[in-house]
Amino acid sequence: MNTLIINQLNQRFSINTKNTTLQFVEAEGDIPRIEIKNKNAKALISLQGAHLLSWVPVGMSDVLWLSEQASYKQGKSVRGGIPICWPWFGAHEINKSLPAHGFARTVMWQVIKTEALSENETMIVFRLDCRSQNQAISNMWPYAVSVEYTLVIGDSLILTLTTQNHSDEAVTIGQAFHTYFNIGDIKDTQVCGLENKAYLDKPDNFNQKIQSGPLLVTNEVDRVFINTEDDVAIKNKSRIITISKQGSRSTVVWNPWKDVARKMGDMGEHGYQQMLCVESANAADDIRTIEAGGSHQLSVIYRLS
Ligand code: TA6
């Protein structure tokens, strides 16, 4: 079954030039993946969740952390890479029985376009259309809304999520690029750019606090920073990852630390020492209401130095 789908996808969307390839392949859990390679980077994307699992610029280690204990099952989000939280962030505001972080990360997305922008950059565009998706989605979220996700893969990574409201009523969404960065060693890592910013501290009942100095992680951190539009940088001994975003005024920083990680079951024993989530979001008071016929775009660029 998947072989047929993969062949069809390759016929329509594969790229095969001297320095650029993009192809669909079979993968664990019967969930197809896309392998991308160009002169500047290689990447791996799962069709479930349009989930970027790996992004490796030439000469670098993977920028994304992916748990050794991640499971690849239909309907289950992968621990690591870049899960897309959409159309809500965290727990659903009213119905707590709905999946945390929405459903976009656990359903199949449609590929609508691929293009080698140059020998150095490859673009792929996904779509999730709630009007034509399955009944389970409309039961959870009965809105005529679609979202397009564009990834440009090169020595930097550009991600854009565009939500279009096709209905004749306003719709409110929350969302995030829930990016797991491969930081090497948490004790040598700091997050700069959030100094003096207010945050909601989830482990402390969402009490509002102020970040003092660069953020260092020495225990559980789960913070929604508010009013953050400027660049944020993750610095460790070997590199600086600069995060520049648009359409977002909230930034989430998360590391479960040892005890929470152990209970999660799919973080691996040492995962919490190697990862840090820094998420460009529309969360807390930064959720967005999209008027009838309107759209909202959230985008981010990750650069390395
Ligand atoms: O973004 C931080 C967060 O919302 C945390 O509170 C934590 O639970 C994490 O995401 C992981 O959520 P998940 O549903 O993927 O286990």
- Going along the chain from its start, the domains and CATH numbers come out as 2-304 (2.70.98.10)
Pocket of ligand 1 (CB under 6 A): 77, 90, 100-101, 178, 202, 222, 252, 254, 277, 279
pLDDT of residue 19: 94
Average pLDDT of span 246-259? 98
Q: What would the mean pLDDT of 97-109 be, rounded to a whole number?
A: 95
From 101, 103, 202, 277, the mutation candidate for ligand 1 (largest count of ligand atoms within 8 A of CB) is 101
pLDDT of residue 138 exceeding 90: no
Distance of CA 285 from the midpoint of ligand 1 (Å): 18
pTM, to two decimals: 0.97
Query: How far is it, in rounded angstroms, from Cα 94 to Cα 109?
Result: 26
- pLDDT above 70 covers a percentage of the chain that reads 100
CB 40 within 8 A of CB 154: yes
Q: Is the pLDDT of residue 258 over 80?
A: yes
- Cα(197)–Cα(33) distance, rounded to whole angstroms? 39
pLDDT of residue 139: 87
Condensed to tens digits (0 to 9), the pLDDT of residues 209-230 reads: 999 999 999 999 999 999 999 9
Comparing C-alpha atoms, which of 221, 225, 228, 254 is closest to residue 83?
254
The average pLDDT across 70-77 equals 95
Q: Residue 90 Cα, ligand 1 centroid: separation in angstroms?
A: 7
pLDDT for residue 85 is more than 70 = yes
- C-beta separation of 303 from 244 below 8 A: yes
Question: How many angstroms separate the CA atoms of 228 and 280, rounded?
Answer: 9
Residue 245: which residues within 8 A CB-CB, separation 6 or more?
229, 280, 298, 299, 300, 301
What is the per-residue pLDDT for 132? 82
CA distance 272 to 182: 10
Check pLDDT > 70 for residue 1: no
Average pLDDT over residues 112-119: 97
Q: What is the pLDDT of residues 197-210, one digit of tens each?
A: 999 999 999 999 99
* Averaged pLDDT score across all residues of the chain: 96
C-alpha of residue 216 to centroid of ligand 1, in Å: 19
CB 84 within 8 A of CB 178: yes
